[in-house]
Chains A and B, each alone.
Chain A
Amino acid sequence: MPTVKLVNQTAAIVEIRNLNYAIGGRPVFAGLDMSIPRGRITAIMGPSGTGKTTLLRLITGQLIADSGSIEVAGVDLRTVRRTDLYLLRRRMGMLFQNGALLTDLSVFENVAFPLREHTDLPESLIRLLVLMKLQAVGLRGAAELMPSELSGGMSRRVALARAIVMDPEILVYDEPFVGLDPISLGVILRLIRHLNDALGFTSIVVSHDVQEISTVADQIFLLSGGKVVARGTPGELKANPSDVVRQFIGGLADGPVPFHYPAPDYFGELLAAGEDH
């Protein structure tokens, strides 16, 4: 397989410097700096609307930053050509929030999809690889099912098998725990840890499930207001005295992140409505 030209090989596999990104004039990130180490499980957390998924899309090259730099495995995503971006993506796997399985293909064909598209392997070898990956996520027996026949948790496990079938260096998870029952959640957590330890991936997990992610993450970045407000191990974050961190970790309704969306004065608006009547 052709390789991507490496610009700068460092211990960090993702290096973000002074990242600025706005959606419709509203700044999502303003001067974001982040360094994600190779071979570890890094969690990116933060309240809803802080741009966690947007950050994932920037790291995977689905979005282009307005300014600043993002280097992934030494490749600068702001200047990369489309063909080189696709070569880089062969070294990445992504687990989407809803699994994003191709609905017209069976479970087996979904997992085989990247192999069929990017390799000329014989059918017997493709079958072997797919069954191994399905076995790793515990769904070898579901190989012939269609995506419509799977539960939410099973869909995500199949998507995980598909994401690792090319043995990527980086595995990106977008909200992997949303909507899962406790058993499926436990299975996904165990798989994240197991795959990272056994296969040496770098895992980047976007989530706002504090308790769950704390059990597997080696390092957590807490985002708020377009910047990293805290970083460290799960233990360090729990001990962090900052108001934002305490509100998020403690699940407090009000604090630096306000409960109310910005609005005019409540009583003034009620009185005005009463006068109209």
Chain B
Amino acid sequence: MKAFEELRSSLIESLTGLGSVVRFLLRLIVNSPGALRRYDLILQQIYNSGALSLVIIMLSGLFVGMVLGLQGFQLLQRFGSEEALGTAAAIGLVKELGPVVTALLFAGRAGSALASELGLMRATDQISAMEMMAVDPIGRVCVPRFLGGVITMPLLSAIFCVIGIYGAQLVGVQMMGVDSGSFWSQMRASVGMSDINEGIVKSCIFGVACSLIAVYEGYYATPTAEGVGQATTRTVVTSAVVILFLDYLLTAAFL
């Protein structure tokens, strides 16, 4: 009976939390048209979340592509079809690894920074100060950060894929001796717009999820050092789980 009660209360707590996140998302959306008029604030956030994440995204993309090149070559060589390496690497990156790994890196780099920044703003009364100056912190602080993340994610994902394909080419063509013409021509022949669209849709949805989680956790962080730390941790952990769960759903939907 006690276990049932605990299950019931934890279920209610989870649903309440989910409702609170959805309500927060609606407030962000309602405030978005106003924030869009102040594009300088959004540009600043695109710089913070996007430009400052470029190095980690590009490096990771290169290494993931190189690993794909190595693994793909080893596997395809068994069937005598090394020329298909370009196709295998491109499809793997564009449809799956690009959006997912970019989102995971975004959550770790930009998401955690967003959550801790907002949490510290709450802990140092900056959010309360804005409210006291009759400025809605949702519109002034949260929406630009949210939109900045949403816009940034597909761009970062695209850069990740391009660098990743270059990494696969570097290993496959330059090091393993796969024919360059076959590598590129097979890729161009096999990768269609539907594959690219799948990647774009995934990265857009991951962008909304990661930015929403980071902004929500930061905005509602307990205003103490421990609370800000917990909000940052929750941002990374929740984002990772949600990204992988959504990835499964989206992949199934695109089949």
Q: Which of B91-99, B128-136, B196-204 contacts A (4 or more CB under 8 A)?
A: B128-136
Chain B residues whose CB sits within 8 angstroms of the CB of A62 once the complex forms: 128, 131-132
Chain A residues whose CB sits within 8 angstroms of the CB of B135 once the complex forms: 113-114, 117-118
Is B77 an interface residue when CB atoms closer than 8 A count as contact? no
Q: Mark B109-143, 1 if CB is under 8 A from A, else 0.
A: 00000000000010011101111111110001000
Separation of A247 and B131 alpha carbons in the complex (Å): 37
Q: Mark A80-96, 1 if CB is under 8 A from B, else 0.
A: 00000011011011101
B133 touches which of A87, A97, A103, A113 (Cβ 8 Å): A113
Kindly name the residue among B124, B130, B133, B140 whose own CB sees the greatest number of chain A CB atoms within 10 A. B133
A87 touches which of B125, B128, B134 (Cβ 8 Å): B134
Separation of A165 and B131 alpha carbons in the complex (Å): 16
Residues B125 and A100 in contact, CB atoms below 8 Å apart: yes
A89 touches which of B125, B126, B134, B140 (Cβ 8 Å): B134
CB of B131, distance to nearest CB on chain A (Å): 7
CB of B207, distance to nearest CB on chain A (Å): 23
Query: What residue of chain A has the Cβ atom nearest to residue B135's Cβ?
Result: A117
Separation of A159 and B125 alpha carbons in the complex (Å): 12
A114 touches which of B128, B131, B133 (Cβ 8 Å): B133
Is A60 an interface residue when CB atoms closer than 8 A count as contact? yes
Residues A89 and B124 in contact, CB atoms below 8 Å apart: no
Chain A residues whose CB sits within 8 angstroms of the CB of B134 once the complex forms: 86-87, 89-90, 114, 117-118
Residues of B within 8 Å of A, CB-based: how many?
14
Chain A residues whose CB sits within 8 angstroms of the CB of B133 once the complex forms: 89, 113-114, 117, 162
Chain B residues whose CB sits within 8 angstroms of the CB of A113 once the complex forms: 133, 135
Separation of A162 and B133 alpha carbons in the complex (Å): 9
Chain A residues whose CB sits within 8 angstroms of the CB of B121 once the complex forms: 103
Chain B residues whose CB sits within 8 angstroms of the CB of A103 once the complex forms: 121, 124, 126
Q: Mark A216-238, 1 if CB is under 8 A from B, else 0.
A: 00000000000000000000000
Kindly name the residue among B130, B132, B135 whose own CB sees the greatest number of chain A CB atoms within 10 A. B132
CB of A78, distance to nearest CB on chain B (Å): 18
Separation of A234 and B177 alpha carbons in the complex (Å): 90
Taking CB atoms and an 8 Å cut-off, the chain A residues in 45-63 that contact chain B are 60, 62
Separation of A61 and B129 alpha carbons in the complex (Å): 12
Residues A60 and B132 in contact, CB atoms below 8 Å apart: yes
Separation of A89 and B135 alpha carbons in the complex (Å): 9
Residues B132 and A89 in contact, CB atoms below 8 Å apart: yes
Residues A102 and B132 in contact, CB atoms below 8 Å apart: no
Query: What residue of chain B has the Cβ atom nearest to residue A86's Cβ?
Result: B134
Chain B residues whose CB sits within 8 angstroms of the CB of A114 once the complex forms: 133-135
Separation of A62 and B135 alpha carbons in the complex (Å): 13
Is A240 an interface residue when CB atoms closer than 8 A count as contact? no
Separation of A93 and B134 alpha carbons in the complex (Å): 10
| Known pairs A60-B132, A87-B134; A98 contacts B140 (CB<8 A) | no
Residues B126 and A117 in contact, CB atoms below 8 Å apart: no
B128 touches which of A93, A96, A117 (Cβ 8 Å): A96
| Known pairs A60-B132, A87-B134, A90-B134; A96 contacts B125 (CB<8 A) | yes
Query: What residue of chain B has the Cβ atom nearest to residue A102's Cβ?
Result: B126
Residues B140 and A100 in contact, CB atoms below 8 Å apart: no
CB of B132, distance to nearest CB on chain A (Å): 4
Residues B129 and A94 in contact, CB atoms below 8 Å apart: yes
Query: What residue of chain A has the Cβ atom nearest to residue B133's Cβ?
Result: A114
Separation of A101 and B126 alpha carbons in the complex (Å): 6
Chain B residues whose CB sits within 8 angstroms of the CB of A96 once the complex forms: 125, 128-129
CB of B220, distance to nearest CB on chain A (Å): 15
Knowing that A92-B132, A94-B132, A117-B133 are A-B contacts, what are 12 other residue pairs whose CB atoms are under 8 Å apart, sorted by A's residue number? A62-B128, A62-B132, A86-B136, A90-B134, A93-B132, A96-B128, A96-B129, A98-B125, A100-B126, A102-B126, A103-B121, A114-B135
Question: 9 A–B contact pairs at CB < 8 A?
Answer: A86-B136, A87-B134, A89-B131, A89-B134, A97-B125, A98-B125, A100-B126, A101-B126, A117-B133
Q: CB within 8 Å of A: which residues of B?
A: 121, 124-126, 128-136, 140
3 A-B pairs with least C-beta separation: A100-B125, A100-B129, A86-B134
